[in-house]
A and B are shown apart, each in its own frame.
Chain A
Amino acid sequence: MREREFEPKILAFLCNWCSYAGADLAGVSRLQYPPNIRVIRVMCSGSVSLHHLLHAFQKGADGVLVAGCHIGDCHYLKGNYMTLKRVKFIEGLLRFAGYDPARLRLEWISAAEGIKFAEVVRDFTSRIQTLGPTPSFEAIPQYGRQETEVGSRTA
């Protein structure tokens, strides 16, 4: 049997006011994008704590997408400034801990940008596909969740 291609699991935190509506528009417009994305709707991208991002990786997400309103458009005025500040910081921390920060992506997607949403998901999925499964956050991988070969851990 032909070995199946690695199908990454991507977790997306979409803000209620812009990006979720953007994703909705992508769906209503019947735009095609890979089904690897799992969406969590949050009220504001600024409410996504860095713990949530770490927790997502810890639970085996291969990529995490955080999307919010464009800077200046936040429903809560300054929420996305907070997101930007946090994500910039966590990227450096992930790199230092030995995790590829390319697995984390921050995008500004407005409610009118269904096309951009589909584009981002397509692009991000293919990037994660080339990166392979995320390394385990468990301190001793062999005793915890098995580190799997590319392809054997599919959804």
Chain B
Amino acid sequence: MEDRRLKSEAGLHRMRSLFRLLSSSFVKDWVEMETKIKNLLEEGRVDGFWAYKTAHGFPVPWLFTNENAHELEPWQPTSARYPLLKLLLALSRQNPEKIYGILVRGCEERGLQELFKWSQLDRNKVIALGQACSEEMALYCECRQPYPDRLDYGRAVAPVSKNDRIEGLHAMEMDERLDWWRTHMNRCIRCHGCRDVCPVCFCTECSLQHPDLIPGTELPPDTSFHLVRAVHMGGRCIDCGLCEEVCPARIPLRSLYKEVNRLVEEIYGYTPGTEGAMSPFTFLGEELLLPQGPQ
């Protein structure tokens, strides 16, 4: 009897090591995504899960619930990027008592942190599963962390520290830079796409639609349209780059917000999307860097 128990334990151990071996490769992810999400749904730990589903050959955002859990597909590396956070935020606002799960990339996880910190989402009402980005994507985005802290699917690739987007601009003369920005910004059609897709743009009232700040009668809008938005991105932008991808005029917005992030980091040492400290632009932000007492 005792012997059999030992044997079965050994078998279990062997199975576990085999499982660990598998888990080091993609194979595990392919098999596991379905089961992981299904388990979450079946155990009732989440009421719905935001992930992707293939429709007409393309991955599209999809909310999986117990009713359509059978439609879940195995995870596969994809370059598709959608504002899942935006969908999550909208749904959570409508159903504040429900718990939702979400599949996140590195940038989306940073976005989640920001939304938690700005009290837009409840930490206890969101369960995130992480997926890593491919190396090409990381290089394209010049991403400082192309994988989430909690990584469930895929393999983490090295962060990219180079920042070609803004270095080229820094090398220019001031007038040259102004002209450069103008040639890009005069294509703006004021569609507000950059704002609508942004995962950390959660306000219900927007300064970009304030008739006095941004006159709504002119096209293209003043460059201050983009500067006002850039001001709002200070201490908040998680560098997901959806704004640039969604822009119909292909304005290099990401360069602007990357510089905003660099400035906030340089002046205040704050990196958006990290746990803990709040943005320096909240009223009770970090004031240690400033001189004390009368000057």
Q: A54-B227, A72-B293, A78-B287 are in contact. Are A139 and B182 (CB under 8 A)?
A: yes
Query: In the complex the two chains form, what is the Cα distance from A141 to B263 in whole Å?
Result: 28
Query: What 0/1 pattern do residues 225 to 254 of B give for CB contact below 8 A with A?
Result: 001101100100000000000000000000
**A84 close to chain B: CB less than 8 A:** yes
User: Which A residues lie within 8 Å of B177 (CB)?
Assistant: 96-98
**B12 close to chain A: CB less than 8 A:** no
- Beta-carbon contact of B290 and A84 below 8 Å: yes
- Beta-carbon contact of B292 and A72 below 8 Å: yes
Neighbour of A97 across the interface among B181, B266, B267, B291, CB < 8 A: B181
Neighbour of B293 across the interface among A71, A78, A82, CB < 8 A: A71
Neighbour of A57 across the interface among B178, B180, B224, CB < 8 A: B224
User: Which A residues lie within 8 Å of B266 (CB)?
Assistant: 92
**B276 close to chain A: CB less than 8 A:** no
User: Which B residues lie within 8 Å of A92 (CB)?
Assistant: 259, 263, 266-267
**A58 close to chain B: CB less than 8 A:** yes
Smallest CB gap from B259: residue in A: A96
- Beta-carbon contact of B174 and A144 below 8 Å: no
Query: What 0/1 pattern do residues 187 to 217 of B give for CB contact below 8 A with A?
Result: 0100000000000000000010000110000
- Least Cβ–Cβ distance between B228 and chain A, in angstroms: 6
Query: In the complex the two chains form, what is the Cα distance from A96 to B234 in whole Å?
Result: 14
Query: In the complex the two chains form, what is the Cα distance from A73 to B293 in whole Å?
Result: 8
**A85 close to chain B: CB less than 8 A:** yes
Q: A97-B223, A139-B186, A140-B186 are in contact. Are A82 and B290 (CB under 8 A)?
A: no
Q: How many A-B residue pairs have CB under 8 A?
A: 106
Query: In the complex the two chains form, what is the Cα distance from A97 to B185 in whole Å?
Result: 11
- Beta-carbon contact of B169 and A96 below 8 Å: yes
Count residues on chain A whose CB falls below 8 Å from chain B CBs: 35
- Beta-carbon contact of B224 and A54 below 8 Å: yes
- Beta-carbon contact of B267 and A89 below 8 Å: yes
Smallest CB gap from A85: residue in B: B280
Query: In the complex the two chains form, what is the Cα distance from A108 to B222 in whole Å?
Result: 31
User: Which A residues lie within 8 Å of B166 (CB)?
Assistant: 96
Query: In the complex the two chains form, what is the Cα distance from A110 to B152 in whole Å?
Result: 58
User: Which residues 9-48 of A sit at the B interface, judged by CB distance below 8 A?
Assistant: none
- Least Cβ–Cβ distance between B95 and chain A, in angstroms: 34
User: Which A residues lie within 8 Å of B182 (CB)?
Assistant: 139-141
**B67 close to chain A: CB less than 8 A:** no
Query: In the complex the two chains form, what is the Cα distance from A4 to B218 in whole Å?
Result: 33
User: Which B residues lie within 8 Å of A73 (CB)?
Assistant: 294
- Beta-carbon contact of B178 and A99 below 8 Å: yes
- Beta-carbon contact of B228 and A98 below 8 Å: no
- Least Cβ–Cβ distance between B167 and chain A, in angstroms: 12
Of residues A50, A72, A89, A93, which shows the largest number of chain B Cβ atoms within 10 Å of its Cβ? A89
**A88 close to chain B: CB less than 8 A:** yes
User: Which A residues lie within 8 Å of B287 (CB)?
Assistant: 78, 81
Q: What residues of chain B have their CB less than 8 Å away from a CB belonging to chain A?
A: 166, 169-170, 174-182, 185-186, 188, 207, 212-213, 218, 220-224, 227-228, 230-231, 234, 256, 259-260, 263-264, 266-268, 280-281, 283-285, 287, 290-295
CB-based closest 3 A-B pairs: A98-B178, A139-B186, A98-B177
